[in-house]
Chains A and B, each alone.
Chain A
Amino acid sequence: MKFGIVVNEGPYQHQSSDTAYLFCKAAIEKGHEVWRVFFYHDGVNNATRLTEPPQDDRNIVNRWSQLAEDHGVDLVVCVAAALRRGIRDENLAKGFRISGLGQLVEAGIQCDRVVTFGD
């Protein structure tokens, strides 16, 4: 089955991006496809490569990048939400791309299920 995922909250502040990531991992392990993860609202903060968590903490941003690299997951950051919050191509982590809200609607059309993680 083809999944679309929406992440509405920033990393570290709220559990939702951890939950979304663990859901994606589990879905892929079960043989499903995670077609796209769409980052919206403060969720766009998952995409900044300037993130530097303490050494003993998980690196949420790199974890997403790795997921994109290992499984071809399309990580899309909403442009309007990103510009509002200072996320631009210059500080975008590997595997993410900035695009329009149409990408979220497209995920709704193309995927069998869309699951939202937020506050």
Chain B
Amino acid sequence: MLHIINKSPFENSTLDSCLRVAKGGDILLIEDAIYASVSGGAFESKIREAIGKFKVYALQPDVEARGLSGRVMEGVTAVGYDVFVDLVATNENCQSWL
């Protein structure tokens, strides 16, 4: 399953909820959720832990828009909209954690 998250982890517990409940699969961070993937940030260790269970992606145009190019932590794959589409297509189902 593809889990899509769009909230900053600094103001919303959505990422925590997803990590708590989801069984595994892919996580795509979009919109304000990309702040979770910043290296040296407060959520780096949480994401690092998640990487064992999930494959984690961050939507590159959202990263760039927020001035964080080059700051996406190791282990998180920055991807474009084309890969976003591929992730939806290759996973059997998807869920937006709104």
Question: Hey, which bits of chain A sit against chain B, CB under 8 A?
Answer: 1, 3, 8, 15-16, 19, 22-23, 25-27, 29-30, 32, 112-119
Interface-forming stretch among B17-25, B41-49, B70-78, B80-88?
B80-88
Interface residues of B in 2-45 (CB under 8 A from A): 4, 6, 30-32
Number of chain B residues close to chain A: CB under 8 A = 18
Q: A35 to nearest B CB, angstroms? A: 14
Contact, CB under 8 Å: A8 / B89? no
Question: Hey, which bits of chain B sit against chain A, CB under 8 A?
Answer: 4, 6, 30-32, 61, 80-82, 84-86, 88-89, 93-94, 96, 98
Q: Of all chain A residues, which has the CB nearest B81?
A: A26
Give the A-B contact count at a CB cut-off of 8 A: 47
Contact, CB under 8 Å: B84 / A23? yes
Contact, CB under 8 Å: B61 / A22? yes
Contact, CB under 8 Å: B30 / A115? no
Pairs across A and B, CB under 8 Å, 8 listed:
A15-B31, A19-B30, A19-B31, A22-B61, A23-B84, A26-B81, A29-B82, A115-B94
